[in-house]
Structures are given as structure tokens and as C-alpha cells.
Structure 1
């Protein structure tokens, strides 16, 4: 039997909701998203129905919407509701769900479900599960009034956090934490962050917490201003050759969040010999300088324990998100601004009410 919370929202008994749906990928300028009525989803065993409060806007959403990942089978549904960094309230409980109550404030990240049985799921590396399904890519996500989540991949949101501003903790937050956590940083170390956007602005804060000296390299003056606000010691404009030359061979570690070959090359020049580069984006390398004994590592999201750490740090006020709010119906506009590089940091879609 499914338990519902009728007082949370009339949607619990309403057969339809409103959502941004993608029928077929196309450039965002061609308006491929449709804000329209869709059937209200129903939670199955081990699942929750969430009344969405907010959903962050990720560049990977844009990649899917514009068809960049069709060759990889994404989107897996048509129509599909995008969005994978979601906060909201538990509106219904599917059978077998424990640890949640109706009305609980919760969050959902890109990792929607895993098999729970493979070598990765049983060793705290569930983000590497070969059976993983991604929120908003393999199943409907958070660009709507309601969504279904897997209880085992849903997180309680601390009461001290703003439910809208907390949404990016569930993608930029966990992605940045997972990347920084792969490094052994402390006072006296120097780390450089390339790509201070939605994920990068969180990585700056986690790196600062280690006591390391943080340099941020980026193209957007607004992104660099945010980095300084969040504790970066130095900022470098990526279009300034002289400034880039001054930071070459200075960083003990580099965090990479910009998937461009030229940026990767500059990041490696900034990295000291014997240093470590951690990338949370696809890498393209040409002429890799193996004789410098630099270590390359990649990072994908993070595990459940790391997600709880992110939420704890945010609840203590040690990290925060920098967001621009848009109504859920304005998702296309937020995506257009993201594509044009005109967002200060992270766009968040806010549900009505």
C-alpha cells in the first residue's frame, strides 16, 4: 500500500502535474522543452514521491537536451523530464520504505539507483555501478512539480538549509567534494582550480577548508569574483597569457572542471612536476609529458558517505551555494544563459509555492 500526504499538495490525488518535457533533442534556441501537463508519477516499492521544491540546472542537462549524448543512449526516454539535483518534500511512500516520513525535506542527486549488489555497491563506490541509472537521463528528473526517487538514494536535508539554495549541493556539491577528497591537501599546499562555474565554486570552498592556498583560473570575470568571495587566494584570467605564465609549475595539485583540450594543457603546465591533477570532466590529451611524473585522476560524483559530509558542512555554514533563481517554467531561459556563459554561478529552478 502506498501512503500519501494529501495535505502537502493536491498533486497527491491529482492525475496530472506540470513538467518540462523533452520529446526529441534539439538546440535550446529551438525550444525543445515543453512546459505542459504530464501524468502524476506513482512510487513503486522502495521508492518515494517527491513534491519538488527546486532543481539545479547543470550543463549536462544542456548536453542531453541538445542531443550531444544520443550516441550513448541518453535520453533513455521520450518524453523525458530533465534535472538531477533536486530538493523537495516527501509526498508519498512506496511499500517497504523505511527511514522517511511524509513531509520530510529531502534531496536527490544524479545517482538515481544502483544494483546494491556488485563489487562497487558493496565497497562504498556505488557511483561506479555498471547498472546505475541517472536522474533526468534514464528516468524522469526534477524539472517538474513531482518526481519519483529511490529511497536508498534519497537524502534528508538539514533543517538549517534553504531548500531552494540547497539543490546544487546534490550535483556541484558532491562532484566537487569527491574531486577534492581524492587529494591530500593541507596548509602549505597550493591547489589550482580550472573552471570556476557551478561545480568549481564549490570546489574552491572545499579546497579552502583544507588550509591550502587556492588559485582559480577562469574566463568569466563574474566567476572569478565569486571565487574571491569564497576564499580563493589568487584568481587568474584564462585569456591573459602573462598571468597564465606566472602560475606555470606552481601548483601541487590541480582540479579541472572545464572540458576543453586547451584548458587541460594549461592545467598541466600549472601543475608542478610530480603533482596530481583530478578531473571531473572528460579529458583529451595530446603529447602528455610523462617525464614530469604527474599523476592524473578522474572523479565521478561521490558515495553516500561523502554526500552526507557535504550536507553536514553546508549545515554548519562552512560551504554555501551561489545561485540565481528562476521559475520552473523558465527552464529554457536558464539553459540559454548557461550556454551563453552569462550565469554568475548556478541556476536553480524554483517550483511555485
Structure 2
């Protein structure tokens, strides 16, 4: 099969012919139609996340068709369209799993990081961690729902009942969250890199009532803010925008160092919290909600062999919405 392979962090992906995998017990073999390109992929490729499986096929926003089922795998039938997300395995027995927090499982394994992912024509996955894809979403438009959407949805939940919501870093996740927030009757305020007028225009197009630079103040205090950009300096910036009792949610898996800031930014019962991974319950809830909004994903399409270009565009902040690899040309 065609695949894009990471041999070592910090190096470009290598186009190669790799062995087609086989479905093991409890697994499905998925013929990949599309795979979203996530900032987490960038962190893996750039060496900002430690200890990836090497060599590695990245990619964890996989949309494809079940082509083979392993022994004991009965959840999906041949030909079913499924999505494969970041969370690929948990032990199911630890205190986190047993308390509904499987996203924190110490034995968790992740697609495109410790398990080969979707930058290839085929991928295997534990059927228990796959999702049916909602009808009405073409493959390319469905792919960003599987991480950008899921992490955004979990982050929005942790923002509580905030009516005035700030979104720092307006990319794949934020453009989905803005639509969900509008559906829920919330007001959104978008913050982009200074001078990114196109990004601010895009934010207003998908529902933000105000958009400005990340070093600006919004026209009124916010109840909560979600930080999608991996920039630690945005934490004190976001704290300056939220009212007393407000929450700042850090949505990324990696962030640059957080600079020191004065306690008065945190005082007034403000809080800062992170969001880690996702649970299968998040996926079930969000994928049921997506058609109700309905969420429309903006995608920039790249061919499988253009994965390095897609990662480069994401690194440079040149992607409007989400980047997606069309693994099958008709995807």
C-alpha cells in the first residue's frame, strides 16, 4: 500500500510502499478514503511529543470503509463507513476507565502516535474505538470531526455555561466550535495571530460576532475562553479577557512554556484547566450533534503524497479551516 512514513522526528515524511496490514482479533481493516491533518500530527513529526512508534504512519482523523474484520469483531460489517480517532486503546480496568475518564488511562495508546494511522491506503483499528460516520458528510468533510471537532466539543463542555466565549487560534477546531456555540445560543469572540485579517474574516463568516488580534481586548468581558493555539503566552492573555469566575480552557496536547504572570489575573475565582484526549462518549455525543447543527467543515484538500506540504501549511498558519488528505482521489 502507499504510505507516508515518519522515520525520525524532525525529518520530512517519506513516501513508500508499505505492507498492507491485516485485521487482528477485535480489529477492523479500514480502506482509508480521507485523513485529516491535525496539529497533533505536527507535534509528533516535529518531535514535540516524546516516544512515538518508529517508523510511524501518522494520522488520526481517519474516514474509510471496513474491508476486513478480525476474529471476534462483530460491531461493523464489510462496507460500513467508519471513523478512527486519536484514542485507540485503553485497559478498561484502571480507576480512570472505571470512572468514565478513559481519556486519562495510563495504558492508553493513540492512533498515529503509538499505532500506525491514516496517512496510508489502509489502517487497522480496534473496532471498539471506531465510530459510525453520520450520513450526509462526504469523506473529506467528515474527517475533521474526528479530532478537531471532538476536542473542540470536549473543550466547549469544560467552558461550562459560558454565554460569552473567546476562541484563541482560529483553525480547524475553532471553526467547528463556533458553529456549535451558535447552535447553543452562545456568543463567540475570535482571536487570531496579529494582523491575520483573512482569519478574522473567516471567523465572522462561521458565527463569531467579533474577531481581532490575540493581543487585543474584546468589546466586553468574556465568561470563558478556549485556547487552541499551542502558545503558552496566550494563557495570561486569555485570563485578561475573562470576567471573575471565568474559565480558560487549554485544548492542545502540547503548548510552549507559560510565562509568569501576576496573581491578580487569576484572582477572582478564575480558573485555568487543560483538556486531554477524548472519550468514546464524547465521540458518540458529538457525532450525533453534528448533523443537528448542522456543522459545515471548511477543508483544504491535499493528496496523500502531499502530506509534507499539508503539514507545512499548518505549521505556517496558511490553512483555512482544516487540512485533509484525499487518500482515494474520489474522496
**TM-score relative to the length of structure 2:** 0.92
Deviations 1:251-303 (A, max 9, x none): 01111112223322211100112211111134725124343220122112332
Find the residue that maps to 2:95 and give its secondary structure.
coil
Of stretches 304-313 and 333-342 in structure 1, the one that deviates more from structure 2 is 304-313
| Cα distance between partner residues in 1 of 2:64 and 2:285 | 20
Aligned to 1:47: 27
| Cα distance between partner residues in 1 of 2:138 and 2:76 | 19
Aligned to 2:289: 313
Aligned to 1:9: none
| Cα distance between partner residues in 2 of 1:183 and 1:352 | 37
Closer, same or farther: CA 222–124 of 1 in aligned 2, 3 Å? farther
Aligned to 1:213: 187
Contact 1:185 1:211 in 2 (8 A): no
| Cα distance between partner residues in 1 of 2:224 and 2:42 | 29
Deviations 1:166-202 (A, max 9, x none): 001110010000010123326xx21111111111212
The answer to whether residue 306 in structure 2 is matched with residue 326 in structure 1 is no
Find the residue that maps to 1:176 and give its secondary structure.
helix
The answer to whether residue 226 in structure 2 is matched with residue 258 in structure 1 is no
| Cα distance between partner residues in 1 of 2:293 and 2:269 | 38
Aligned to 1:349: 325
The offset of 1:323, in angstroms, is 0.7
Structure 1 unaligned residues grouped into runs of 5+: 1-16
| Cα distance between partner residues in 2 of 1:346 and 1:83 | 13
The answer to whether residue 115 in structure 2 is matched with residue 122 in structure 1 is no
Which residues of 2 match residues 183-262 of structure 1 at below 5 A? 183-185=159-161, 189-219=163-193, 220-238=196-214, 244-247=216-219, 250-262=221-233
The answer to whether residue 130 in structure 2 is matched with residue 159 in structure 1 is no
Contact 1:176 1:206 in 2 (8 A): no
Contact 1:195 1:257 in 2 (8 A): yes
Correspondent of 2:8 among 24, 39, 48: 24
Of stretches 122-131 and 102-111 in structure 1, the one that deviates more from structure 2 is 122-131
Contact 1:107 1:154 in 2 (8 A): yes
Aligned to 1:272: 243
| Cα distance between partner residues in 2 of 1:246 and 1:196 | 15
| Cα distance between partner residues in 2 of 1:153 and 1:202 | 22
The offset of 1:225, in angstroms, is 2.1
Structure 2 unaligned residues grouped into runs of 5+: none
**TM-score relative to the length of structure 1:** 0.87
Deviations 1:123-182 (A, max 9, x none): 322111111101011010000000010111001112221122100111001000001012
Aligned to 2:74: 98
The answer to whether residue 44 in structure 2 is matched with residue 64 in structure 1 is yes
The offset of 1:211, in angstroms, is 1.1
Find the residue that maps to 1:180 and give its secondary structure.
helix
